[in-house]
């Protein structure tokens, strides 16, 4: 841990302030790419199937290497891994920026850059989750996590709306060799590139190096991955939750990732600005839900699993209602509702995992969870994009939302999922 004397607030620690500032700015910049990239693909191709393939191109390397990324983080310094991953992201998004401004962007290049971004994030996500415990005393971790999650949720609230405004402000007809809205899209990618550079500077200034992180040094990386999977499989509630997240991601994540940009482009009234408003509403709901999480968890009185399943059953109904959406206001209200519910569940679940899993296993545990949530969800986006050739957008939203509700209600009979919420330190398996 940090050699400094423990203080009342994590913000009193210099290294945490650097990590918090850099990560917050980077999270805000990420929202610009999350809005701009789907819009770029739709303007280049007009094809939901192409959008699904781009999302899959990001998801495939992320899914394939995320478990290895978690093991690498447990073996090495999470700061070093995060530094390299964000440096690669800065280069890739910077290339995308220049190509869009130059009017030279083409879909093969988009696919290649998406593959590179997916690969780098496979290492960045577990590294980011494992770095924080090495910078602070244990008693400050809950408040530090609340600050980090609050900053991410705030970026979800303000970032997409700002991105939509930036893209809209630069809207212009396509040139002979360019793309519609190229000026605004280029500015959006430029903002994300700058945010990565700020994050890199903050990581370089962190004084904490390699001597405090509990690392796995025995055996090879694949053996460490298998050891982590065995430990998770032996923990019945944790195993049940990871499997539940994987099923939900397959049935719901893909349709939403493809469906929302198509909804904004084809049925709403403000184009890219509508997409930004929808994502902003979702982020705002998550921000409020994060503040309410502790209060709701106390009301649940240890029934965290049941609380999560109830939340998901309600969120599914809100998602299904998007099938009837023809206005930005209605869509924003529905996504604010789902964000509120997700924000309540997210902090409660992360806090439970941190209490249950030892630090030496944290990188691998979080990589498995992120694989279930972020690796599988976008893979279903490719299928969702293809399905839109066969079914209508409202039908896809209705099916995804009702599937989530049905899955959550069915899982209420699972004792393992209802047991979520109990702390248990599992042994660190090499």
Whether 392 is in a domain gets the answer yes
- Confidence at residue 195, expressed as pLDDT on a 0 to 100 scale: 93
pLDDT at 125 over 90: no
Whether 223 is in a domain gets the answer yes
408, 310 in Cβ contact below 8 A?
Answer: yes
Residue 298: which residues within 8 A CB-CB, separation 6 or more? none
- What pLDDT digit, counting tens, does each position of 308-358 carry? 888 889 988 988 998 888 888 888 899 888 888 888 887 777 777 777 777
Whether 68 is in a domain gets the answer yes
pTM of this structure: 0.68
Helix (H) or strand (E) holding 209: none
- Confidence at residue 217, expressed as pLDDT on a 0 to 100 scale: 57
Percent of the chain with pLDDT over 90: 12
- Confidence at residue 91, expressed as pLDDT on a 0 to 100 scale: 94
Whether 427 is in a domain gets the answer no
Looking at per-residue confidence, does 331 or 300 come out higher? 331
- Confidence at residue 215, expressed as pLDDT on a 0 to 100 scale: 53
- What pLDDT digit, counting tens, does each position of 30-78 carry? 889 888 888 888 888 888 778 878 877 887 788 778 888 888 887 777 8
Whether 429 is in a domain gets the answer no
- Confidence at residue 379, expressed as pLDDT on a 0 to 100 scale: 67
The average pLDDT across 200-205 equals 91
Percent of the chain with pLDDT over 70: 87
Structural domain of 284:
13-418
Looking at per-residue confidence, does 378 or 234 come out higher? 234
pLDDT at 100 over 80: yes
The average pLDDT across 205-219 equals 59
Work out the pLDDT band at 211, boundaries 50, 70, 90: very low
The average pLDDT across 205-233 equals 70
- Confidence at residue 375, expressed as pLDDT on a 0 to 100 scale: 65
What CATH code is carried by the domain that includes residue 382? Answer: 1.20.1250.20
Q: Which of 414, 2, 423, 68 is nearest to 243 (CA)?
A: 414
pLDDT at 429 over 60: no
Mean pLDDT estimate for the chain: 80
The average pLDDT across 170-178 equals 53
Residue 78: which residues within 8 A CB-CB, separation 6 or more? 126, 127, 128, 130, 131, 134, 213, 363
Looking at per-residue confidence, does 228 or 27 come out higher? 27
Rounded to an integer, what distance in angstroms lies between the CA atom of residue 43 and that of residue 26?
26
Q: What is the DSSP code string of 78-128?
A: HHHHHHHHHHHHHHHHHHHHHHHHHT---HHHHHHHHHHHHHHHHHHHHHH
pLDDT at 220 over 70: yes
The average pLDDT across 90-119 equals 90
Whether 83 is in a domain gets the answer yes
Whether 41 is in a domain gets the answer yes
58, 114 in Cβ contact below 8 A?
Answer: yes
Read off the DSSP letter of residue 249: I
Whether 430 is in a domain gets the answer no
- Confidence at residue 170, expressed as pLDDT on a 0 to 100 scale: 62
Residue 118: which residues within 8 A CB-CB, separation 6 or more? 57, 58, 59, 60, 61, 62
Reading the block at residue 93, the tokens are: 């998004």
Work out the pLDDT band at 85, boundaries 50, 70, 90: very high
Count structural domains, the chain: 1
- Confidence at residue 406, expressed as pLDDT on a 0 to 100 scale: 92
- Confidence at residue 25, expressed as pLDDT on a 0 to 100 scale: 92
- Confidence at residue 199, expressed as pLDDT on a 0 to 100 scale: 92
């Amino acid at each position: 841990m940090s050699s400094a004397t423990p203080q009342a607030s994590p913000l009193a620690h210099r290294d945490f302030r650097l990590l918090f500032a850099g990560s917050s700015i980077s999270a805000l910049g990420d929202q610009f790419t999350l809005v701009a990239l789907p819009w770029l693909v739709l303007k280049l191709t007009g094809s939901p199937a192409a959008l699904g393939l781009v999302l899959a191109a990001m998801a495939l390397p992320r899914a394939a290497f995320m478990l290895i990324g978690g093991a690498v983080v447990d073996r090495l310094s999470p700061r070093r891994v995060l530094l390299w991953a964000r440096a690669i992201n800065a280069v890739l998004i910077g290339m995308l920026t220049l190509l869009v401004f130059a009017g030279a962007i083409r879909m093969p290049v988009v696919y290649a850059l998406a593959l590179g971004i997916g690969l780098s994030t496979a290492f960045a996500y577990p590294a980011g989750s494992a770095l924080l415990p090495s910078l602070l005393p244990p008693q400050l971790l809950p408040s530090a996590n609340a600050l980090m999650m609050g900053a991410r949720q705030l970026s979800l609230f303000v970032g997409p709306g700002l991105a939509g405004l930036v893209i809209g402000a630069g809207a212009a007809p396509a040139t002979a060799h360019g793309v519609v809205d190229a000026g605004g899209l280029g500015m959006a990618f430029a903002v994300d590139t700058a945010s990565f550079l700020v994050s890199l500077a903050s990581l370089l200034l962190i004084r904490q190096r390699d001597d405090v992180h509990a690392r796995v040094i025995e055996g090879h990386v694949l053996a460490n991955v298998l050891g982590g999977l065995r430990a998770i499989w032996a923990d019945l509630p944790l195993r049940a939750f990871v499997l539940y997240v994987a099923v939900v991601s397959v049935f719901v994540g893909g349709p939403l990732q493809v469906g929302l940009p198509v909804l904004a482009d084809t049925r709403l009234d403000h184009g890219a600005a509508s997409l930004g408003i929808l994502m902003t509403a979702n982020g705002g709901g998550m921000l409020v839900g994060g503040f309410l999480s502790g209060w709701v968890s106390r009301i649940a009185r240890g029934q965290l699993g049941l609380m999560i399943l109830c939340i998901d059953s309600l969120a599914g109904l809100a998602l299904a209602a998007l099938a009837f959406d023809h206005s930005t206001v209605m869509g924003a209200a529905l996504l604010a509702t789902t964000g509120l519910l997700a924000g309540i569940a997210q902090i409660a679940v992360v806090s439970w995992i941190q209490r249950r899993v030892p630090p030496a296993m944290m990188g691998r545990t979080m990589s498995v969870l992120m694989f279930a949530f972020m690796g599988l969800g976008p893979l279903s986006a490719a299928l969702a994009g293809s399905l839109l050739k066969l079914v209508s957008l409202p039908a896809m939203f209705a099916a995804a939302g009702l599937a989530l509700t049905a899955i959550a209600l069915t899982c209420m009979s699972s004792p393992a999922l209802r047991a979520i919420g109990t702390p248990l330190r599992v042994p660190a398996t090499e």
